[in-house]
A and B are shown apart, each in its own frame.
Chain A
Amino acid sequence: MSVPLGGADPGSAAPGTRVPVTDAPAVARMADGEWHRLHPLTPLLRGGIGLVAVLGIVLANLRERLVDMFLSVFGVDESQQGGNDYAGDPIDQIYQHGLVGWALLALAVLLVLAIALFYLAWRMHSFRIGDDAVEVRSGVINRRHRKARLDRIQGVNVSRPLFPRIFGTAKLEVSVAGQDANVELAYLGSQLADGLRRDILLRASGAAAAASGQSLQPAAPGQSLQPAAPGQSQQPAAPGQSLQPAGPASAQNRASELITRRLNEFVRPELDPDAAPPHSVVSIPPARLIGSIVISEFTVFLLIAVGLVVAGASTGRYWLLVAVLPGVIGSASFYLRRFTRSINYSIAGTPDGVRVGFGMLSTSNETLPPGRIHALEVMQPLLWRPFGWWQIRIDTAGKSKQKGAAGQPNTTMLPVGNADDVARVLALALSAFATEQNRLLIQAGMTARADAPAPGAGPLFSAAPRSAAVLRPFSWRRTGYRIADGIVLLRTGAVWRRLVIVPLARLQSVEVRQGPLRRSLHLAQARLHTVYGPVATSLPVIADSDAFPFFTAVADGAIDAAESDRSHRWNTPA
């Protein structure tokens, strides 16, 4: 019915199978609406953790025996005192009863059974990418068939955990909204995963359908995207393809090529050169990354804790030092993990949305199609202010199971960056809004202390009345909103500065509330409801006379924006 997906990876496929010479045809063939299987190494990679666990248990149980063997090799004879220690041990029992042959046979049968099961599971696990849906069938006894509509895609994530990455494979995850509603293709050949992502996004965008409607020739990936991608260089050859030998090569050559390719994959940033204009890429210098991780509230907490412990120890309570040791080790690994996860960060705009990649050993690379961001927050903790660093977090409806940058869920769009980086990321994430004329607005939202009226125009943000100082002594001047170009901006926080941006087209509902305290101060509280995420989309204080103008404007704006929204098929010609 189909050829195993080793196609993209000549090194792991048997020489007898039909190995395509280049990847492009392979990809075109994979997204043809037929059922295909995953990479043949999948059982090994998926079961890898289980295998390690079983080995660990066996080793733990045999530890004493192994230590004993080790000692006896070095001539330490312990048989006098310890010879009968393992009288009840199954291995001794088997040996004493002469059952070695049976035991070995049982082991062999188990192994064969396990391999057969794994093989069967692999045979039964297949996927299909049609014109409007991605489907996965899996399971041997309990069959499962999952189908996700392409116009409901919230994001496509290609991740490469360390172990599968060594074998040149990757995991493709298509997220749709809902709990545990992701379609996971694990594992695929590395380049095949990239190709499939491009193909899925192309079909989801509606561009493929539009192209095939106009001309009957099959649309080549990347070619029907012309209107949306000016300046996109048409590179038919993906990196690594030039390494393909035309004629039969010797096994040695192939092996060295394979290693070169793997090495290239390891060092090259996670971006398709044909899909990402390089000038838009934001990069984080390692020094800044380390600084941002070290200069955090957690470090302050840690320093206080260490100070207390030292003070305690200096008065003779040395047990304190021992007690906090696990915590110290834990925080060291916390820092290290955040670092390795956030390094190699890259962000780029592609015709099919923003692509965020990061990771050193295990990498992850998520594409968010346009209009999938429900709320966005530009945030600056107090400690970052002297350095002018900012962080950007987002709310999305579908979440990848892979952890994102900094080990947080996949909601951190920019772990750390200066104001220029923020502007660049905003231009990618909210391309319709973050234009030159709104630059001033965003700047005011990020840094303005109070509302300085713009030259020639009224105030940029609404201002909270003076009475709000009772509730927000520091930030009441900054607290305000602005509705512009189908976007609501909420500015809050003077110590922890925050600018929240909510596209009206994604807004679920709007709320105004007022309790007795705020009523006596002539204030109210407004809140925008978006999908679940880390961004707090509320305005803690607003003048009560201003509350309903805001409420009405947002409610009407949301209706208009939802009507004109076309982002579920973002490349369909209107």
Chain B
Amino acid sequence: MSRRLDVQAEWHRVSPKYVLVVLVSSLVSGVVAGAIAAVIWLIMQVSWGWLLLVAVGIVTVVTLIVAPRRARSIGYALRDDDLLFRRGIMFQRFVAVPYGRMQLIDITRGPVGRALGLADLKFVTAAASTAVAIPGLPEADAGELRDRLVELAESRRAGL
């Protein structure tokens, strides 16, 4: 029906285990939102509270259904001189960052990700809007990718 955006590149996908992280986090937020809706309906006796609860339920189920596809849509590619990043199915986003623009690289680990041995890598430039965050990398890969990126940035060092 409609043309999707796509770039030909050697895409690396995130770990399949990352789906679990997304599932758990959307489940947790669904439960929290559902609890709030339940409080509004049952304890505060708001008559339309059940509508809220149903809405939360639908959103959570939809999120859980698309979670695997969303996780699979995240990808990155190391080109000769820049890092390519993509994510999203409905809302697609593609970013290209020259290696030389790197200011720092962050590696973070959430509780669920840590249990599964996953880490998130964030590529920070002087522009806050760059927002390149690659989630769900196996810990060893994340460290390796960080060292590789730092090395690439060093060899292509540019000013600000």
Contacts and interface: CB of A to CB of B under 8 A. Distances in A.
Contacts of A515: 90-92
Interface in A512-560: 512-516, 519-520, 522, 524, 527, 529-532, 544-545, 547-548, 551, 554-555, 558-559
A516 B90 contact: yes
A516 B88 CA distance: 11
A371 B96 CA distance: 22
A506 B90 CA distance: 31
Contacts of A72: none
A562 B100 contact: yes
A93 to B, nearest CB: 58
A568 B157 CA distance: 12
A555 B88 CA distance: 21
A192 B135 CA distance: 53
Nearest to A527: B129
Contact of B98 (A371, A514, A522, A559): A559
Nearest to B125: A508
Contacts of A522: 2-3
Contacts of B126: 177, 397, 508, 531
A509 interface: yes
Given A508-B130, A509-B101, A548 B2 contact: no
A529 B2 contact: no
A374 B160 CA distance: 9
Contacts of B5: 512, 514, 524, 544, 547-548
Interface size on A, as a range, is 35 or more
A131 interface: no
Interface residues of B, number: 30
A508 B101 contact: yes
A12 interface: no
A511 B94 contact: yes
B118 to A, nearest CB: 25
Contact of A508 (B3, B7, B81, B127): B127
Given A508-B126, A568-B159, 15 more contacts: A154-B160, A397-B126, A509-B97, A509-B130, A513-B92, A513-B93, A515-B91, A519-B2, A519-B4, A529-B125, A529-B127, A544-B3, A558-B96, A559-B100, A562-B98
10 contacts: A154-B160, A397-B126, A509-B125, A509-B130, A511-B130, A512-B94, A529-B127, A529-B130, A531-B126, A562-B98
Interface of B: 2-5, 7, 81-82, 88, 90-98, 100-101, 125-130, 132, 156, 158-160
Interface of A: 152, 154, 177, 371, 374, 397, 506, 508-516, 519-520, 522, 524, 527, 529-532, 544-545, 547-548, 551, 554-555, 558-559, 562-563, 565, 567-568
- What 3 A-B pairs come out closest when comparing CB atoms? A508-B127, A529-B127, A555-B96
